[in-house]
A and B are shown apart, each in its own frame.
Chain A
């Protein structure tokens, strides 16, 4: 690219990797479009996903002893379960004997898992408890003890959000999350008795690279043009959106957060006309109780700002009109599976729960009035970046992420309609994918 002819300064002043170009003198940040197309980049990313903490699911997805769900993470089939003692677990969904998919139901409740192929049976606590004709294996050699279900190498739970790692060693989950924990806490603080996942999962595939979904979520700039029909709908209900006062906050380890105050009300916490009069009374009561529980100042923070938190690499937490967790599962450079769960305070009233479901659903998800236009954006970028592949002009095959650098250079806080959060993501991505950071 043209800017590359003047060498950027190293360190904080700039970056010049095969994929990310950053020059604070010129106020330019660009990302090679190869990152969305390349099989080689995808393979490098897989190696990253094999060593970092990945979001698996929320503990309330398996509320009762014996509950299980199967889920594929980083391409590997897993069982996410709660054993008979009540402990939440994650196992490889692959029979230790010969590798057969062990659990073929998508979800259910089971004390044991039996492989249909040779009828080996495993307790939901992992032990191999049944082999037909066991005498063929010498009992004194401890064969059965070696052949229990394979748990994930690492497994940790932060306030109900369950993360796993395929690596035996590395940062603890708390270290990995770092300051992202504060934003998870703000979300968890909605509920006196904890958050729970609401049944019904949005499961959908997009024809776009997973990083486009990250960019989109950390991009307040697109909201007004992309979601103009949603903004117009809100206007008809008596609510006028505003981008004023929004912030983009870059956290360490690739995480970032967008903070909004004027994109819509928040069910249970901040009233908006379409929520109706009954909800107005519930909101007053909820905020009063919240203040009694966590203090006035924190209550204001929990209740009156909306946030989208990105936790590198595969989790987006939405604390907006409602609460949602969205998991990204890359399938190929141009294909991503998305799973999205809505959460709500455990024990909330039927009326509050129903309103929460309708309001969030009106905005996000494949059938919402906004998300389909985001999907159109991912897919149009994925189709569009093919145009510049291999272009003989070196400056052409780069996407621009420079918005707001001037403001940032002046030491002003980054706005959510700028691209600071996206830059933070790309810096960390570049470090881990090109191998300059763990």
Chain B
């Protein structure tokens, strides 16, 4: 990809990602990350703290992210077997300035997670860093920040936020 990245290109990327997650196509989802990329979810009481100094809900380096995907594909990932139904609404997309192949992207999300008679809602914002190299967009850092005060009800991030 050369030159400016448009919001439409970023939205297409995020909407396609949401579809892959809602359909539990996790190998294809993992392929959206560049090698060495991270996935992080800070706690609700320290949304802006650095993960090396603060407990996080999720702080995956690429190896742990790969392990997370491998786990979620197993029928022994009991928390998601059977899989939750999810529907992700991704909106309010804002694209920052491309710098050294890093593209900051902000968006809002609302995720409905449905399982066992419960409908849980997870609302928050994405603070991603994408890369825009020759072959399209990829995640360099995928960061989901919850607006919830407490992860309640449904206190598990067993799915991908």
Residues of chain A touching chain B, judged by Cβ–Cβ distance below 8 Å, are 106-107, 198-207, 226, 228-230, 232-233, 236, 335, 337-338, 341-342, 350, 353-354, 357-358, 360-362, 365-367, 369, 371-373, 375-377, 379, 383
B28-65 to A contact mask, C-beta < 8 Å, 1/0? 00000000000001111110010111111111010010
Residues of chain B touching chain A, judged by Cβ–Cβ distance below 8 Å, are 41-46, 49, 51-59, 61, 64, 67-68, 70-71, 74, 76-80, 116, 118, 149-158, 161
Chain B nearest CB: distance from A172 CB in Å? 32
Chain B nearest CB: distance from A91 CB in Å? 20
Contact B76 A228, beta carbon cutoff 8 Å: yes
Chain A nearest CB: distance from B37 CB in Å? 15
Chain A nearest CB: distance from B154 CB in Å? 7
For A207, the chain B residues whose CB sits under 8 A away are: 118, 153-154
For A342, the chain B residues whose CB sits under 8 A away are: 55
Chain B nearest CB: distance from A34 CB in Å? 22
Q: Which of A232, A357, A379 is in CB contact (< 8 Å) with B116? A: A379
Contact A375 B155, beta carbon cutoff 8 Å: yes
Contact A203 B56, beta carbon cutoff 8 Å: no
Contact A203 B45, beta carbon cutoff 8 Å: yes
Taken together as a complex, chains A and B put the C-alpha atoms of A233 and B71 apart, in Å, by: 8
Q: Which of B52, B76, B116, B151 is in CB contact (< 8 Å) with A203? A: B151
For A360, the chain B residues whose CB sits under 8 A away are: 55
| B153 nearest in chain A by CB position | A205
Contact B150 A204, beta carbon cutoff 8 Å: yes
| A342 nearest in chain B by CB position | B55
Taken together as a complex, chains A and B put the C-alpha atoms of A232 and B154 apart, in Å, by: 26
For B156, the chain A residues whose CB sits under 8 A away are: 204, 366, 371-372, 375-376
For A106, the chain B residues whose CB sits under 8 A away are: 45, 149
Contact A357 B64, beta carbon cutoff 8 Å: no
Contact A200 B152, beta carbon cutoff 8 Å: no
Given A233-B71, A367-B58, A376-B78, residue A205 in contact with residue B52 (CB < 8 A): no
For A335, the chain B residues whose CB sits under 8 A away are: 153
Chain B nearest CB: distance from A332 CB in Å? 11
| B46 nearest in chain A by CB position | A200
For B76, the chain A residues whose CB sits under 8 A away are: 228-229, 232
For A202, the chain B residues whose CB sits under 8 A away are: 43, 55, 57, 151
Contact B46 A199, beta carbon cutoff 8 Å: yes
Contact B52 A350, beta carbon cutoff 8 Å: yes
Contact A372 B79, beta carbon cutoff 8 Å: yes
For B42, the chain A residues whose CB sits under 8 A away are: 200
Contact B157 A353, beta carbon cutoff 8 Å: no
Contact A367 B56, beta carbon cutoff 8 Å: yes
Contact A366 B51, beta carbon cutoff 8 Å: no
Chain B nearest CB: distance from A105 CB in Å? 12
Given contacts A200-B43, A207-B154, A369-B71, 8 further A-B contacts (CB under 8 A): A204-B155, A207-B153, A232-B76, A236-B67, A337-B150, A357-B52, A358-B64, A366-B57
Contact A375 B79, beta carbon cutoff 8 Å: yes
Query: Could you say which of B152, B156, B157 has the most chain A C-beta atoms within 10 Å of its C-beta?
Result: B156
Taken together as a complex, chains A and B put the C-alpha atoms of A379 and B49 apart, in Å, by: 31
For A107, the chain B residues whose CB sits under 8 A away are: 45
Given A200-B49, A361-B59, A373-B79, residue A205 in contact with residue B155 (CB < 8 A): yes
